[in-house]
Amino acid sequence: MKNLLILSLLILGCFSGYAQLPQWNQAKKDRLTKMCEQQLTKVLLVYQNGKLVFEYGDQKQDYNIFSMRKSMVSLLYGIYANEGKINLNANLKKLGIDDFNKLTEQEKEATIMDLLKAKSGVYHQAAYETPGMMKNRPKRGSHKPGTHWFYNNWDFNALTTIFEKTTGKTVFAAFKEKIADPLKFQDYDIKKQSYIREAGVSMHEATIWRLSGRDLLKLGINLLNQGKQDNKVVIPVQWIDRSTKVYSELGILGGYGLCWWVASRGEHYPFVKFPDRSFSARGTGEQSLVVVPARNMVIVHLTEVNSPKDKMMHVVTFGRMLKLVMKP
């Protein structure tokens, strides 16, 4: 009878996904610590089943999170759209958005939703672009809005312009009011956040966000908990669901949502399989906030990158680390 009970529990565990949950013993923690020490990792935090199961580095230090900024702005759009203050279907023409090299009538048909999906079809120069973005940018007019995915800083920068023009608030002030304060961030300093404008390139500024590991972990836990904090809604669960759906299939990269990278068919990072609907915010140097609802897990990873000349961690290296983190 006892053996039958044990067998039943094992079967139930397999079907519920419990048997696949990563396990944490000292040997695994030691191995992961050594891995952090031997590479460029500054902070690695792993939260699972309601507790911090692994921590490395100075959680209080803030870092430039680079392209993770795009996911932060997406959260603001979800909050303000839920309050009825932003119409996600408004197009650039209605919003009065243009640029130095005038947008065409076709380009002005792009909506806020198109920009959030990185499908604007606007292939104008943008501030803070990487060489890869400039090299691979499609020709202007080559794709209609909503039809083609391209990781496009023009879209992301214009989203900041649109948000601030529509709400009358900076993204940094809105983030403090709507997210950082309700989630009790400890290190968010609005004075450390900044803008980058490249003269003659584009009217739309890029933004530099600095966040600490422990504050990013609080955000990840809130997303894992469907946007609730102290029984109050901080981020609408409908937006979390909507923004972390796959709108573009990207092969080995998984998929792309509304400024979030989303696991699809197990693909998300190299060398490791993720449950579908896992999602992440990512930035240069493998700055990452990874949320894995199926494993009740949040992962925060930060490195220090101060200039393009700095040595940067590669996604392949981070993928190997994640393989160990996710190992049953």
The pLDDT value given to residue 306: 85
Contact 40, 303 (CB under 8 A): yes
Q: Which residues of the chain have pLDDT under 70?
A: 1-20
DSSP string, 139-195: PTTSS-TTS-----HHHHHHHHHHHHHHHSS-HHHHHIIIIITTTT-SS--GGG-EE
The pLDDT value given to residue 228: 96
The pLDDT value given to residue 20: 63
Q: pLDDT digit string (tens) for 70-84?
A: 999 999 999 999 999
The pLDDT value given to residue 21: 77
- In whole angstroms, give the CA distance from residue 120 to residue 167: 21
The pLDDT value given to residue 323: 97
Q: What angle do CA 140, 142, 145 make, to 5 degrees?
A: 90
The pLDDT value given to residue 193: 98
Please report the domains of the chain, with CATH numbers, ordered by start residue: 22-326 (3.40.710.10)
The pLDDT value given to residue 129: 95
The pLDDT value given to residue 23: 87
Please name which of 5, 44, 43, 52 lies closest in space to residue 24, comparing C-alpha atoms.
52
Q: State both tokens at 124.
A: 């104008």
The pLDDT value given to residue 308: 79
The pLDDT value given to residue 10: 36
Contact 221, 297 (CB under 8 A): no
Helix H or strand E encompassing 297: strand 297-302
Q: pLDDT digit string (tens) for 137-193?
A: 999 999 999 999 999 999 999 999 999 999 999 999 999 999 999 999 999 999 999
- In whole angstroms, give the CA distance from residue 238 to residue 241: 5
